[in-house]
Structure 1
Amino acid sequence: MNDKDTLAKNNGAAKTDKRKQSLYFPEDMLQEIKEEAARLDRSLSWVVQRAWKLARLEIKKLPSVNEVGEGEEDLGD
């Protein structure tokens, strides 16, 4: 934990980490996200975060790499 983390924790700062992260999406998927963000009048970040909250239980049901049987491949939609 660095000084900034310690200070934030001790000061009761926001519980969420607001640091920037880079995520890479296929161009067509990014375009769809942009269109939905515009339709909803929300940010790209909000749409992706909301999508994660809605999908995370389904994603947790997916087998890990070590659980995929031999001969099976990633669905990679």
Structure 2
Amino acid sequence: MAQPSEKRKQSLYFPEDMLREIQEEATRQDRSLSWIMQQAWRSARARIATMPGMDDLGPPASA
């Protein structure tokens, strides 16, 4: 039996047009915004992990 996952409230801010698209997809699938975002993260996290972090970009250019 799977253990229940910890739930924590978090505010995220999206551009209005992006939020509208996410809401339309949630409505189309009859799912919550939260569910859509969780699935998007699960789908994209491996790709995101390959992106360089700020520390990987090197020192800032001299002015």
The aligned amino acid for 2:29 is: L
Moved over 6 A (4+): none
Larger Rg: 1
Determine the structure 2 residue equivalent to 1:68: 57
The total of aligned residue pairs comes to 58
Q: 1:8-47 to 2 correspondence within 5 Å? A: 14=4, 16-47=5-36
Q: Aligned Cα RMSD in Å?
A: 1.4
Paired with 2:8 and 2:42, the residues of 1 have a C-alpha distance of: 19
TM-score normalised by length of structure 2: 0.82
Bigger relative contact order, structure 1 or 2, given CA contacts below 8 A and separation 6+? 2
Which structure 2 residue ranges, 5 or more long, are not aligned?
A: none
Q: What is aligned with 1:48?
A: 37
Q: CA deviation at 1:57?
A: 0.2
